[in-house]
Amino acid sequence: MDAHELITRNAAEVVTEEEIETLAADPDGKRAYVGYEPSGVLHIGHMLTANKLIDLQEAGFEVTVLLADVHAYLNDKGSFAEIRRTAERMRDQFIAYGLEESDTQFVLGSDFQLDEDYTLDLHALELETTLARAERAMAEITSGDSVKVSQAVYPLMQALDIPYLGVDLAVGGMEQRKVHMLARDVLPSIDREPPTSLHTPLIADLGTGRGKMSSSEGVTISMEDSRDDIESKVNKAYCPPTADPEPTEEGESRENPVLQVFEYHVFPRFETVVVERPEQYGGDLKYDAYDALEADLESGELHPADAKGALAEYLDRLIAPGREQLAE
């Protein structure tokens, strides 16, 4: 797989394709970053963007993980002392999950976001940005009906982090798209280059196939889960025998989250996936690529129950090192 394929594999969107092609032509020494609020335990959302960081490391990128303690504080996630302790635990979990430690720089937001130059640039962006523009970008972090001033500043800080970290590529889930577009709009006003960005897909709710899998709502999978927990959650997952389920009676679109987790979590990390089955049901199935597994589910060769059994097995393999680190 060449650099361009590694960079764009399983990406929902890149902005822009021309800029990505330039990075792919000479990726060695280029830097990519993802920012995470320190929130305790890695869950499947963190793991999706971490998989992309692993792809980028294989392509030759250096990776920066921003453990955004100031952002977490602005989002009312606890005291600085509590948040920083959580950030240290998350760092160890990312390494356990598979990020190459020698090519990964972990940075606390407070390492640079409280400096005078950063503060003055942030105020300059505030002067250039209407409240309505900031509100569009901050939709993913607000909760409840009352919007706080800190939440309006939050996306401007995310935009400013990009030049201050000196990165060439900003990575995030599709929920970060509005922030990256804000950054492309406002950073030129302070003579900073607009960022190239890459957005990963959103995994649907595991139990229903609707909306977005969330650690705060519904069912999610995290490094705290035991093997039994993972099996129980996957066995209850929504998995019709198709990659394109019918919408709900209310017209709400649905995805097959079991297939999504195979595509975005399992196949990027394992060269071969084996679905174990008793001989009377046809014996084991072996897949070297996601498309073949999807095709077998569609044709009926692969039963959803057997797909779920294999998914639980491979998720447990991915999560086990982090679970052991947490136990220590």
Annotated binding site for L-tyrosine: 33, 154, 158, 161, 176
CA dist 241 and 191 (Å) reads: 52
Task: Check: CB of residue 262 under 8 Å from CB of residue 311.
Answer: yes
Q: How far apart are the first and last CA of the chain?
A: 37
CA dist 151 and 186 (Å) reads: 17
CA dist 257 and 234 (Å) reads: 10
Enumerate the known binding-site residues for ATP.
215
Task: Check: CB of residue 78 under 8 Å from CB of residue 72.
Answer: yes
Enumerate the known binding-site residues.
33, 154, 158, 161, 176, 215
Tokens at residue 217, please?
């709502």
| CA neighbor of 228 nearest in space, from 148, 316, 145 | 316
Task: Check: CB of residue 220 under 8 Å from CB of residue 320.
Answer: no
| CA neighbor of 11 nearest in space, from 206, 170, 184 | 170
CA dist 196 and 162 (Å) reads: 10
